[in-house]
Amino acid sequence: MNTHSASRLWSAGIVSVALVLALPVLVIAGFVFVPAGDTWRHLAATVLPDYVTNSLLLMLGVTVGTLIGGVGTAWLTSMCQFPGRGIFEWALLLPMAMPAYIIAYTYTGMLDFAGPVQTSLRGLTGWGHGDYWFPEVRSLGGAALMLSLVLYPYVYLLTRAAFLSQSLCVLDVSRTLGNGPWQTFWRVALPLARPAIAAGLSLALMETLADYGTVQYFGVQTFTTGIFRTWYGLGDPAGAAQLSALLLSFVLVLIALEQSSRRHSRYHQTSQRHQAIRRHRLRGWRAAAAVAFSALPLLFGFLIPAGQLAAWAATIAHTVYDTRFLSLVFHSLGLAAVAALAALVFAVLLAYGKRLHPSSAVRAAVRLAGLGYAVPGTVIAIGVIIPFAWLDNTLDAWLRATFQVSTGLLLSGTLAALLFAYLVRFLAVALQTVEAGLGKIRPSMDEAARSMALGPGQVLRRVHLPMLKGSLITALLLVFVDVLKELPATLILRPFNFNTLAVRAFELASDERLADSAPAALTIVLAGLIPVILLSRSITRSRDAHST
């Protein structure tokens, strides 16, 4: 086989793999063109306006919360010097380890009428039921607050990186023109960081649209709750798929807006961005205000809920940690490990294939395969089960007619369907990490290896994989923890009588057994700390390297 034929074969293989991984998204997108049925007309006339309104209001609330928390803390920890700044710069990432549905259960248990906060308030004041007003945590506003507390790190992470990379010359010129730190922030630093802010906000909003556990527990009707209700309550897969297609359009609009923001913004940095930052020293009440502003999201987004979970888990430790709990841990860790390994293998295959043959078809196919991370788990699950069920039924019907043998369901309702959904949903996490690692390897190294008569596979195995070790481990851990936290896809696709830590925490919390759900929830949170620590260390090392 000549080189040209091998290149075409490799490109065709990459495109084929990418299209298979993009199948669930393509299936859902195809339902846009399916004629509306009775269920869809019923949804459009009754609850669809509520789904749209509540989803938009939820996104608006999360936008305000994440921008205030993320941008404000990013500026303080990057450009100001105040007590505890070195701790806050990495600790502000800790709420990323707290899934939104878990923080929702925790605050509900703390703030409900029978919770410790209101009980203590009544004990101190002597008030009874109806004697005082207390904000209702189970509400649209409460859901927006819970999501903001755990999603602001997306904005903080990218915005802080943008602030740290800004040219000190530009900031110094602003100061020499008479602008103080506050005016410099508003007039110079904030506009320069706009693309990073838009990217972080788009990630937070896509996670908002993907959320199911929080909005379902709080009784807020959004697209994700509607998809579940249509699938299970009305028993209409087509109606659920059409709702999923509408939700997918929301996500695609967000992606288009974020890319448009970056395309029309061209901000060039000078080499002086590598100088050590001269932070503005805050004193007196300004320093106290900076400490308080930085501490609030950390306190309410991680320390208080994690402390409450630990307290609940300790009170029931003697009754919960048994063989059933260990089986939940085994199921969760096993699924997460297999899914992470599969995502890593396909990510390396696709990223390296794109590096070898960067044709427009290969680039488009790889980008399409990585779209799954922007799509909610609910939508992915519906997109997986429809083609899998069709394949099972078609194969079973053919074998019955030909050999009088029934195969039953080979894929639907099995771990294979669930693992495929995880792969589609989180491939982009591994793909972006591997591509970033490959981007740091100069093409001249590939050429040198090929001059020694090494084939593409040998170059990958002997040269690239050893150099990508750090990126591969990071990708593996990120996918592992994302799978561990995933709830809606697991709820829809898990086999009968098969539970994970996320599903068990959700089931117990839905039954108002909040303390009993604490061990499973706390285990997920502790596992989520791993990538957070990696991210914080990576940021610190990157900045230290640039400052030397």
State the alpha helices, DSSP H only, in 85-167. 85-91, 100-111, 116-125, 140-165
* 161, 168 contact by CB (below 8 A): no
Question: What is the C-alpha to C-alpha distance for residues 548 and 531, in angstroms, rounded to an integer?
Answer: 26
Altogether, the residues listed in the chain come to a count of 548
Cα–Cα dist 298/402, whole Å: 63
- Cβ–Cβ contacts within 10 Å for residue 513, how many? 14
For the ranges 3-12, 71-80, 251-260, 404-413, the lowest mean pLDDT is seen at 3-12
Judge whether 501 and 528 are in contact, CB under 8 Å: no
The pLDDT of residue 274 is: 46
Task: Name the pLDDT band for 460 (thresholds 50, 70, 90).
Answer: confident
Higher pLDDT, 209 or 238: 209
Burial of 539 (0-12, 13-18, 19+ CB in 10 A): middle
Largest CA distance in the chain: 87
Query: Model confidence at 170, in pLDDT bands (50, 70, 90)?
Result: low
Mean pLDDT on 421-431: 91
Tokens 């695609």 appear where? 252
Asked if 208 and 62 touch (Cβ cutoff 8 Å), the reply is yes
pLDDT range class, residue 187, cuts 50, 70, 90: low
- Are 329 and 119 a contacting pair, CB within 8 Å? no
Of the CATH numbers 1.10.3720.10, 3.40.50.2300, 1.10.287.1080, 1.10.600.10, which one belongs to the domain with range 19-264+287-547?
1.10.3720.10
Give 345 or 128, the one with higher predicted confidence.
345
* pLDDT of res. 166: 60
In the three-class reduction of DSSP (H, G, I as helix; E, B as strand; rest coil), residue 344 is classed as: helix
**Whether residue 301 has pLDDT greater than 90:** yes
- Angle at which helix 284-298 crosses helix 48-79, to 10 degrees, equals 140
Q: State phi, psi for 85 to the nearest 5 degrees.
A: -60, -40
Token code pair at residue 475: 């990708």
Whole-number Å distance between alpha carbons of 55 and 214: 13
Is 275 or 228 the better-scoring residue by pLDDT?
A: 228
Distance CA 400, CA 494 (A): 27
Task: State the Cα angle at 205 between 200 and 211, rounded to 5°.
Answer: 130
H or E stretch at 501: helix 501-510
Q: What share of the chain has pLDDT > 90, as a percent?
A: 29
* pTM of model > 0.75: yes
> Which two structure tokens, joined as six digits, stand for 126?
């002597």
476 has a pLDDT exceeding 80: yes
Give the whole-angstrom CA distance, residue 24 versus residue 419: 13
**What distance in Å separates the CA atoms of residue 485 and residue 521, rounded to the nearest whole number?**
9
Residue 319 has pLDDT above 80, yes or no: no
Q: What is residue 375's predicted lDDT score, i.e. its pLDDT?
A: 84
Among 225-234, 350-359, 465-474, 536-545, the least confident range: 536-545
pLDDT higher at 410 or 186: 410
Of the ranges 11-20, 119-128, 164-173, 507-516, which one carries the lowest mean pLDDT score?
A: 164-173
Over residues 15-71, the pLDDT tens digits come to 898 999 999 988 888 887 777 678 888 888 889 999 999 999 999 999 999 999 999
The band of 454, judged by pLDDT with boundaries at 50, 70 and 90, is confident
Using DSSP's 3-state secondary structure scheme, residue 281 falls into strand
Band of pLDDT at residue 443, cut at 50, 70 and 90: confident
Decide: 108 and 309 in contact? Cβ < 8 Å.
Answer: no
Other C-beta atoms lying within 10 Å of the C-beta of residue 203: 21
The closest of 519, 89, 515 to 298, measured between CA atoms, is 89
Please, are residues 145 and 104 in contact by the beta-carbon 8 Å criterion? no
Encode pLDDT of 366-424 as tens digits: 888 888 887 888 889 999 998 998 898 888 888 888 888 887 778 888 899 999 999 99
Place 363 in a pLDDT band, splitting at 50, 70 and 90. confident
Q: Does the pLDDT at position 114 exceed 90?
A: no
Instruction: Give the pLDDT confidence of 271-299 residue by residue, as tens digits.
Output: 444 455 667 888 889 999 999 999 999 99
Q: What is the DSSP string of 474-492?
A: HHHHHHHHHHHH--HHHHH
Q: Residue 3 belongs to what H/E stretch?
A: helix 3-21
Type of residue found at 262: R
Measuring CA to CA, how many Å separate 336 from each of 127, 316, 432?
Answer: 48, 26, 19
Average pLDDT, the chain: 83
Closest of 308, 303, 300, 301 to residue 515, by C-alpha? 308
φ/ψ of 280, rounded to 5, equals -80, 120
Q: Which residues contact 473 (CB under 8 A, 6 or more apart)?
A: none
Residue 432 has pLDDT above 80, yes or no: yes
Q: Are 350 and 15 in contact (CB under 8 A)?
A: no
Q: Which two tokens stand for residue 400?
A: 């019955």
The string of pLDDT tens digits covering residues 499-516 is 999 999 998 888 888 888
Q: What is the pLDDT of residue 95?
A: 92
Distance from the Cα of residue 440 to its chain's centroid: 25
Average pLDDT over every residue of 222-227? 91
Measured CA to CA, the distance from residue 342 to residue 427 in angstroms comes to 9
Question: Is residue 103's pLDDT more than 90?
Answer: yes
User: Does the structure show a pLDDT above 50 at 268?
Assistant: no
What separation, in Å, do the N-terminal and C-terminal C-alpha atoms of the chain show?
A: 51
- pLDDT of the residue at 71: 92
What whole-number distance in Å separates Cα of residue 226 and Cα of residue 52?
Answer: 11
Question: If you search the block for the tokens 């996490």, which residue do you land on?
Answer: 429
DSSP annotation of 373: G
Eight-state DSSP code of residue 129? T
CA distance 462 to 456: 10
Helix (H) or strand (E) holding 38: helix 38-46
Q: What is the pLDDT of residue 263?
A: 60
Residue found by looking up tokens 């990057």 in the block:
78
